[in-house]
A and B are shown apart, each in its own frame.
Chain A
């Protein structure tokens, strides 16, 4: 089954404790991206990657890091989480060779930073 898998689904951590949210897709998609979704603000892009070893900032990259060492994986790293990073996070992927292909989203990771 074609899917984007995020782990964990729920995460509670404390301020300053480094964490990684994993994202993996099995569709051989070139493009992958991370979003955060907050009430009243909608989805906002954090980082995106056009292909292996190619990443770029989205609209709200501060406090986040990403890496794209393999085509299928695109982890989101919070080096020193803060309470304002409490949010619902989504990873998404899409193929770039098909014109106007949709984003395929994971089922989200709900992060709480205390």
Chain B
């Protein structure tokens, strides 16, 4: 069964600290993996996409990694800010058309001052 599991379920960190969110998937076939950020009361917004051949990709203070062999991805947030408080959702696409998406349940990050 295709599944995407994220850990931890929730996380609290101090402003300025770094953190890493994990995403493990058992999805086949695999097309790509995307991280979304969902602010409270808003729809998810794409942060970055990882394809099979990519190991690391950065988007500002966000760095995503992908290990296709172990079927794991991580999202590292550097020098966290209060605005990073959100839910982070890992989504794996089974096909290139993007019509078959497997969603993780998300990690809720709270950054406190």
Contact = CB atoms under 8 A, between A and B. Distances in A.
Interface of A: 4, 31, 40-45, 48, 50, 90, 92, 94, 96, 99-103, 105-108
A17 B44 CA distance: 29
Contacts of B99: 31, 48, 50
A100 B51 contact: yes
A48 B98 CA distance: 11
Nearest to B48: A102
Interface string B27-46: 00001101010000111111
A43 B103 contact: yes
A28 B105 CA distance: 29
A103 B104 CA distance: 15
Contacts, number: 50
B96 A41 contact: no
B68 to A, nearest CB: 15
Interface residues of B, number: 23
B86 interface: no
A48 B103 CA distance: 15
Contacts of B104: 42
A90 B43 contact: yes
A99 B43 CA distance: 22
A105 B103 CA distance: 14
Nearest to A38: B105
A105 B49 CA distance: 16
Given A99-B96, A100-B96, A44 B43 contact: no
Given A44-B103, A96-B97, A106 B43 contact: yes
A103 B46 contact: yes
Interface in B71-103: 89, 93, 96-99, 101, 103
A26 B43 CA distance: 16
A42 B43 contact: no
A100 B49 contact: yes
A39 to B, nearest CB: 9
